[in-house]
Amino acid sequence: ITGFDGYFARKLNQTSSFGAWFDVVIDLICRGGLWCGLYRWGYAVILVEWLTFVSTHNRGATWKIPDNEFPDICRRVMEKGFKTPLGFIAITGVHFLPIWLYMYEMKVSYTVLHIPWIAQHVITLILVLCRLLALRVEVTLSFISILLSPAFAKARGH
């Protein structure tokens, strides 16, 4: 569903700052439910996503625009608002890994979709790598935004 709501909001000229913020909150709640329902360690994944959300939205409307201080890989993922091949890869991991893992754990991937065992593991590996790319960017965004914040600079005497 994610993506369709934004598409239709733009098509119907029903966009707002609150709508953009609320869309991300709903996405986080839905993904968080999947992660936490599937694995005990799922809380760690959603914690990183919430920390990133707070850090990025603290930057305001320009949160998708990478700073020059960001590592090259992060800038390349975030270029053009994540609308690049690397951005697509990262977003694919964020949105599809929890859904895929749910289908895997519930045996839907095998019993309903009849995906061979080896293909399931290859898909899982690819999606995990995609998610790790996103994690790299998320950790950078959270960490850099703290380091660049006026409060941090003031605390360090700068």
pLDDT in tens, 63-78: 667 777 788 998 899 8
Confidence band for 150, pLDDT divided at 50, 70 and 90:
low
Confidence band for 1, pLDDT divided at 50, 70 and 90:
low
Task: Show the DSSP H helices in the chain as ranges.
Answer: 4-11, 17-38, 42-58, 72-82, 85-105, 108-111, 117-147, 150-155
Domain range list for the chain: 4-149
pLDDT at 86 over 90: yes
Amino acid at 98: P
For the entire predicted model, the pTM comes to 0.79
Say how far apart CA 32 and CA 38 lie, in whole Å. Answer: 10
Quote the tokens at residue 139. Answer: 């950790």
Q: Choose the weakest-confidence range: 93-97, 101-105, 146-150.
A: 146-150
Confidence band for 152, pLDDT divided at 50, 70 and 90:
low
